[in-house]
């Protein structure tokens, strides 16, 4: 592309706008699902936690499959376009299901959304990366951070506003808004399809055979049926998610054995990073399960003493802080580069675990400050999210960039899916463990119950995060050695080729 060496190529700007629309649509719906299942569909706390955990996990675990299909059969641009069309239909059907309080239709709608996420989640990063030239990787990393911040702006606005709009539009009205936002992304993709196809892989630039389309349709039907079964049978469904995640990781190990010796070292680094991802995103999963239920049960409705807020909007604090801190994070990285200090991505993960430990220690501490109204101040949850969001911002976008740089291009979309699998496995594990603090319906919360259920749980998580700081620092040294060895071998191969040519 003509501006591939620019700081923000035109295609990258288009994809950043897409990220805003998607973030608003997806997370605006996400924020309403807890109360929708708890109070509208009359699910128990434990079943609601599992439903939300599965909803967060299904898309990422299937995204490795979606990435594989995009890499090998239909192309990255087509995968996104088809996925976003299905998103639009899924949100619309969820609105119809909510208007009728129809559980099967609601489950089918979120199954469609899960399928859409699985098919399309990895490919925008591939399109984004390909919009930059091979010599413009620093701008690519910066672009990923901006893209991540814009996603958080869209999700914050919808997560804060949608719960208030329920009073005027009911749940179905908000779900219809999400459908409309996804429709806007389709218009955007149709308008700029030439630029986006150019940023896709080779398959996007040539027609797909009828045989491949037939296989894709059959495979999609099977995948959608599996996703629906997982949501309808949560107790057994989680084991299917575990199995799929393990299979994806095993396939990646198989690809390591086939790769060139240089990429073997780099891909082994990715495998170590997947473990670190899984532990870190376990804590991210807590934000949408245990922390969310805790806030819905105990958070007050005033922020800083004067800003009205719904308890379910506590999840909006995360994207708010991620958006606010995005600029300072870029400045800090730039300052460190000028000073000649550039910490590795695993080292940044170690720092992130330190902030996570502080966040969950604060969360445990907050349980001792229940007011006379039986609520804690929303300010506690705000500052808990400050530390956890800063941790997420340190690693959220950079992890994707690390994997993108460490794998062969023919595995780029699949490898983005591998990262998502880590998120998925940790998310469903977070949901399973979070059910330990689920309370019966209409349970009266006394200080004794709060301490026994919530305090011990959050402090335990804080201690484990603190230990992970040291584990990650040790692993970062291993990763650095592997990368150095791979680079040495790559240099030797280059010198041999040059000598042969001469």
Both tokens of residue 269?
Answer: 């680094």
42: number of Cβ within 10 Å: 12
Give how far Cα 274 sits from Cα of 32, 33, 58, 209, Å.
30, 28, 17, 35
pLDDT of residue 502: 59
CA 476 to centroid of chain Cα atoms: 23
Q: Classify residue 451 by its DSSP letter.
A: I
Convert the pLDDT of each residue in 198-232 to its tens digit: 877 778 888 888 998 999 999 989 888 888 888 88
Q: How far is CA 261 from CA 67, 179, 415, in A?
A: 24, 46, 18
Spatial CA neighbour of 475 closest among 183, 277, 240, 236: 277
Helix extents (H) in 204-304: 210-232, 234-258, 261-288, 290-298
52 neighbors 182 (Cβ within 8 angstroms) = no
pLDDT band at 497 (very low <50, low <70, confident <90, very high): low
How many helices (H) and strands (E) the chain has is answered by: 17, 2
Contact, 158 vs 24, CB < 8 A? yes
Q: What is the pTM of this model?
A: 0.76
DSSP state letters, 2-33: TTTTSSS-HHHHHHHHHHHHHHHHHHHHHHHH
Nearest to 87 by CA among 40, 48, 29, 128: 29
What residues contact residue 191 under an 8 Å CB cut-off, 6+ apart? Answer: none
Residue 3 has a pLDDT of 67
Give the pLDDT score at 247: 83
Average pLDDT over residues 297-302: 84
3-class DSSP state for residue 449?
Answer: helix
CA contacts within 13 A on the Cβ side of 328? 7
User: What mean pLDDT is reported for the chain?
Assistant: 82
Confidence band (pLDDT; 50, 70, 90) for 97? very high
Residue 1, pLDDT score: 41
pLDDT of residue 399: 63
Find, among 420, 66, 54, the residue nearest to 237 by Cα: 54
Contact 308, 60 (CB under 8 A): no
At 195, the pLDDT band (50, 70, 90 cuts) reads confident
Average pLDDT for residues 331-354, to the nearest whole number?
A: 76
In terms of pLDDT, which residue wins out, 453 or 500?
453
Closest CA to 158 of 42, 260, 33: 33
Domains of the chain, start order: 10-501 (1.20.1250.20)
Say whether 305 sits in a helix, a strand or coil: coil
Question: Residue 398 is encoded by which pair of tokens?
Answer: 């950079």
Q: What is the mean pLDDT of residues 152-178?
A: 89
Count other C-beta atoms under 10 Å from residue 40's C-beta.
Answer: 16
């Amino acid at each position: 592309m003509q501006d591939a060496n620019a700081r923000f190529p035109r295609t990258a700007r288009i994809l950043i706008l897409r990220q805003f629309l998607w973030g608003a649509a997806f997370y605006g719906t996400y924020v309403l699902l807890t109360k929708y299942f708890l109070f509208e569909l009359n699910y128990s706390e434990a079943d609601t936690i599992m439903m939300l955990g599965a909803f967060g996990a299904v898309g990422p675990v299937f995204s490795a499959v979606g990435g594989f299909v995009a890499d090998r059969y239909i192309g990255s641009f087509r995968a996104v376009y088809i996925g976003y069309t299905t998103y639009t239909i899924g949100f619309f059907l969820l609105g119809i299901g909510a208007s009728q309080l129809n559980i099967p239709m609601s489950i089918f709608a979120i199954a469609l959304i899960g399928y859409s996420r699985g098919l399309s989640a990895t490919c925008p990063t591939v399109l984004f990366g390909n919009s930059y030239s091979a010599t413009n990787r620093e701008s690519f990393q910066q672009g990923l951070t901006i893209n991540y911040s814009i996603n958080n702006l869209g999700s914050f606005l919808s997560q804060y506003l949608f719960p208030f709009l329920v009073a005027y539009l009911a749940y179905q009205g908000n779900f219809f808004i999400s459908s409309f936002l996804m429709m806007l992304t389709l218009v955007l993709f149709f308008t700029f399809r030439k630029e986006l196809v150019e940023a896709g892989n080779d398959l996007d630039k040539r027609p797909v055979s009828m045989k491949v389309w037939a296989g894709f349709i059959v495979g999609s039907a099977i995948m959608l049926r599996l996703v629906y079964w997982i949501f309808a049978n949560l107790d057994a469904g989680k084991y299917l998610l575990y199995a799929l995640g393990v299979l994806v990781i095993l396939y990646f190990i198989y690809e390591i054995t086939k790769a060139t010796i240089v990429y073997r070292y780099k891909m082994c680094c990715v495998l170590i990073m997947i473990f670190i991802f899984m532990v870190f995103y376990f804590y991210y999963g807590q934000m949408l399960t245990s922390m969310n239920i805790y806030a819905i049960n105990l958070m007050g409705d005033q922020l800083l003493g004067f800003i009205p807020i719904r308890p379910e909007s506590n999840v909006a604090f995360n994207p708010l802080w991620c958006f606010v801190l995005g600029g300072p994070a870029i400045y800090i990285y730039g300052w460190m580069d000028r000073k000649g200090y550039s910490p590795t991505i695993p080292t940044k993960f170690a720092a992130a675990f330190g902030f996570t430990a502080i966040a969950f220690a604060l969360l445990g501490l907050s349980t001792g400050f229940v007011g006379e109204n039986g609520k804690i101040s929303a300010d506690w949850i705000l500052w808990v999210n400050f530390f956890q969001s800063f941790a997420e911002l340190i690693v959220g976008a950079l992890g994707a960039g690390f994997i993108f740089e460490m794998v062969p291009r023919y595995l780029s979309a699949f490898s983005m899916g591998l990262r998502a699998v880590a998120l998925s496995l940790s998310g469903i594990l977070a949901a399973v463990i979070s059910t330990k603090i689920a309370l019966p319906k209409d349970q009266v919360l006394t200080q004794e119950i709060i301490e026994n259920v919530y305090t011990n749980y959050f402090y335990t998580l804080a201690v484990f995060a603190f230990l992970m700081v040291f584990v990650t620092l040790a692993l970062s040294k291993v990763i650095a050695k592997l990368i150095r060895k791979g680079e040495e071998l790559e240099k030797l191969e280059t010198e041999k080729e040059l000598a042969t040519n001469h």
